[in-house]
Structure 1
Amino acid sequence: MSYWIKLGVICVGLLLVSLTGWAILLPASHPILDRAGLLGPMRAVGLPIPETEDNGGGGGPRFGGGGGGVQVIAQEVAQADSDTRLVAIGTARALRSVTLTSEVAGTLENVSVSSGDWVEAGSLIAELTDEAQQLAVARAELALQDAQARVDRVAQLRSSGSATQVQIDETELALNRARLDLRDAEFELRRRQITAPISGWIGLISLEPGNQISISTELARLDDRSSLLIDFDVPERFVGLIGVGDTLQANPLSRAGEVLQGRVRATDARVDQGNRSLRIQGEIENEDDRLRPGMAFRVTVELPGESLPLVDPLAIQWDRDGAFVWALDDDSKAQRVRVEIVQRRDDAVLVRADLQSGRIVVVEGVQNLRPGADVTPRETRPAPQAPADDDASLQASGSADMPDTTPDI
């Protein structure tokens, strides 16, 4: 039994020594000891416990023996814009693109261009065999000449009064019918010719003269790639943040470091209900013709932000209710101000809080503060500087509600 008594005495002694050291070395513990009813008896027995303002109801200890309140290192609050960048992956296509096919089935007789050629709108690309159509045009021309001759003879008879009105009407009707037949024959002849509907570059031609083709046979593709259109999708939460005319940057995934300037050309009229995304169409110039449709691009769009307080990361503290900073009011008293972290930067943090530019927040000495404590800054540092280029980004496939943004894709 004597063993357990000795052990209990030792434990009580250690506890008393710990409480005494806590009270002497950490005056911020005085309110806790006072509520526990221990601070008064400890002073009564003559322990060297330092006095604090308001008998434990004021601030923490004073560093360096100075007066006026808890001495801390503080910093002014700055304001900065929370501009971010939306990053998405898109696929390029030509400004205008046409698949060249024949209007009729037949045998390919001639190809007038080569793969990769530049052609103007209206240029002849290929021809089908058209002997039957040429004969039809020749017959229609003869029939038109005959109809015109009849109209001329009837006109002469009419001047002498030998032709009736019925004869005149019949010859004129025959002349009009002959003209229509000629136009129809010429139309059928033109359908055997494949021409370029737009100016552009011819793709690979896979057919040769002599091949039999149908109306669904693809001869080649014709692309106007003077500009490229880039289609990419963004989540619906970005609706209203991106508009026509906004600038964008496009980086070919195959060419790291090359950045091209462009603009938003159009936005879709509705959000896709399947994946809750909005289709955006961007446009970039391709004057030197180094880019091709089908290439993948990393598209970056600047998004509008809001002006937010910028504080030093050391000023942010945490408790069970979340993040906060110690800010000084007009009377240099400490106040807890709740903050929401929006963006982390190299040496500062953008927060959403009730902090005006120029207000003082504590960055060192926060462990000795409590609400209402008098504070005397030993040093007040200048406000953190907002970087010239905010490299924060939001991935189009990520979450816009995350408080700490992630790096680019």
Structure 2
Amino acid sequence: MKIWKQIVWSLVLAGGAFLGWAWFYPGAGDTLARYGIDWFSVSSTGQQAGDARSGGGAPRRGGFSREALVVVAPVGQGVVNDRLTAIGTGQAVRTVSIRPLVAGQIAEIPVTSGARVDAGDVIIRLDSAEEELSVERARLAAMDAEQKATRLGSLAEQRAISSVEADAARTELQTARVALKEAELALSRRTVTAPISGSLGILSVNVGDYITNQTDITTIDDRSEILVEFHVPERFAAAMTVRKPIEATAIARPGETFEGSVTAVDNRVDESSRTLRVRALVPNQSDHLRAGMSFEVEIQFQGETYPTIDPLAVQWDSTGPYVWRVVDGKAERVEVAIIQRNADRVLVEAEIAEGDEVITEGVQSVRQGAAVRIAGAEPNAEQQGGGGERPGSGGAGS
């Protein structure tokens, strides 16, 4: 094929591609108009007028329309900072570490590890033979002193002895009684009892062991309620108040939610982590929870309300993000500030309201104040190019 034929065919194909783009691409008319080429829109106007005279309804769809074809989505409403989720650690509402008050050899352990005990139940007994003898000796001394005081008191009443001797006997009686109480106290300390009701931990001693007052025997946990301690960001510090309801989920028991309330809020924010320490109390009637468990704590707040838009509606330029809002069939640029970006919606701060329509597709052909045509919407009178019947128009076409 000769070179001039190849050039002609290339020009024909290029011209056909240009005409196809100008006819079918929705924003072609605006693009050409920016370069001063308006004869496509004039041709379209003549075609629309011919359609109107012939009774046609809407103009032919194509790139010759001056209205940009766009897709819109309504503005919604979203809430942020309305809930807080934190990870906390559970503690028994009361925990006691058991140590003896005196040293000695363990003679008996009437309880087992993990058993449930009530306040006053015996946990261990130390060898107390010497203390029992001391109590018996003190008891006998007290009885002898009481008899002597009674006898001398009778003689003093008969004036057989002086009152000084009777007073000395009464003093000896009081001293003997005090000695008896000391001996009984020493004997009672040879028995270690539970100070609170709860569940025993693992016993770290055995019968025959010699222990001192520094020996940890076991712990007792009152887990009728669980204290969950967690930390919240400082922006929630003002909203954290005592008795605020919470929901806690044990990581070890997924699917079960336990309701509780805040019992204590720290008086200062930790400088290193910028968090506030909080404690909440969770009932544990079923006894499924244990001290040391990890919990996911959720707290509800009033939150802050912002408009939400489709992520495709957000556009960017050198000044920042903005959206195109459709008002009375025309595009209006609205500056926005992004508050939170989610997978399906973007929360923004802007002068838009719930129910407004913003452009999500076709933004490349949109200009400030220019008319737009919403895809799928019924065309209005201006878009129909006078296709509606007006008074007196019927005779003009005949």
TM-score normalised over the length of structure 1:
0.73
2:337 equivalent to 1:340: yes
* Equivalent in the alignment of 1:88: 86
2:369 equivalent to 1:367: no
C-alpha change, 1:231 and 1:162, in structure 2 (3 Å) is same
8 Å contact from structure 1 (residues 81, 306) kept in 2: yes
**Structure 1 residue 184: deviation in Å?**
1.4
Superimposed CA distance per residue, residues 76-109 of structure 1 (whole angstroms, 9 cap, x where no aligned partner): 4333322554333322222211111111111011
**Structure 1 residue 239: deviation in Å?**
1.9
C-alpha change, 1:379 and 1:315, in structure 2 (3 Å) is farther
Q: Where does 1:168-317 land on structure 2 (aligned, <5 Å)?
A: 168-317=166-315
Give the whole-Å Cα distance in 2 for the aligned partners of 1:174 and 1:354. Answer: 95
8 Å contact from structure 1 (residues 245, 265) kept in 2: yes
C-alpha change, 1:51 and 1:241, in structure 2 (3 Å) is farther
Structure 2 unaligned residues grouped into runs of 5+: 1-13, 46-58, 378-398
TM-score normalised over the length of structure 2:
0.74
C-alpha change, 1:154 and 1:332, in structure 2 (3 Å) is farther
* Equivalent in the alignment of 1:326: 324
C-alpha change, 1:149 and 1:349, in structure 2 (3 Å) is same
8 Å contact from structure 2 (residues 82, 304) kept in 1: no
**Structure 1 residue 360: deviation in Å?**
3.4
Superimposed CA distance per residue, residues 123-147 of structure 1 (whole angstroms, 9 cap, x where no aligned partner): 1111111112112211222222222
* Equivalent in the alignment of 1:403: none
Q: Number of aligned pairs?
A: 348
Report the AA paired with residue 283 of structure 2: E
**Structure 1 residue 72: deviation in Å?**
4.2
C-alpha change, 1:255 and 1:375, in structure 2 (3 Å) is same
* Equivalent in the alignment of 1:137: 135
SS at match of 1:342: strand
8 Å contact from structure 2 (residues 29, 65) kept in 1: no
8 Å contact from structure 2 (residues 128, 190) kept in 1: yes
Greater radius of gyration (CA): 2
8 Å contact from structure 1 (residues 68, 376) kept in 2: no
* Equivalent in the alignment of 2:126: 128
8 Å contact from structure 1 (residues 76, 361) kept in 2: yes
8 Å contact from structure 2 (residues 29, 66) kept in 1: no
Moved more, 169-178 or 123-132: 169-178
Report the AA paired with residue 353 of structure 2: Q
**Structure 1 residue 294: deviation in Å?**
1.9
Superimposed CA distance per residue, residues 232-287 of structure 1 (whole angstroms, 9 cap, x where no aligned partner): 23333432233333333333333443433333332222223343332222332222
* Equivalent in the alignment of 1:356: 353
C-alpha change, 1:63 and 1:303, in structure 2 (3 Å) is farther
Give the whole-Å Cα distance in 2 for the aligned partners of 1:67 and 1:232. Answer: 62
8 Å contact from structure 2 (residues 324, 334) kept in 1: yes
Q: In percent, how many aligned pairs have the same letter? A: 37
8 Å contact from structure 1 (residues 242, 303) kept in 2: no
Give the whole-Å Cα distance in 2 for the aligned partners of 1:138 and 1:334. Answer: 104
Superimposed CA distance per residue, residues 13-34 of structure 1 (whole angstroms, 9 cap, x where no aligned partner): xx9999999998623336753x
8 Å contact from structure 2 (residues 81, 301) kept in 1: yes
Give the whole-Å Cα distance in 2 for the aligned partners of 1:71 and 1:32. Answer: 17
Report the AA paired with residue 145 of structure 2: A
**Structure 1 residue 227: deviation in Å?**
1.9
Report the AA paired with residue 219 of structure 1: I
SS at match of 2:181: helix
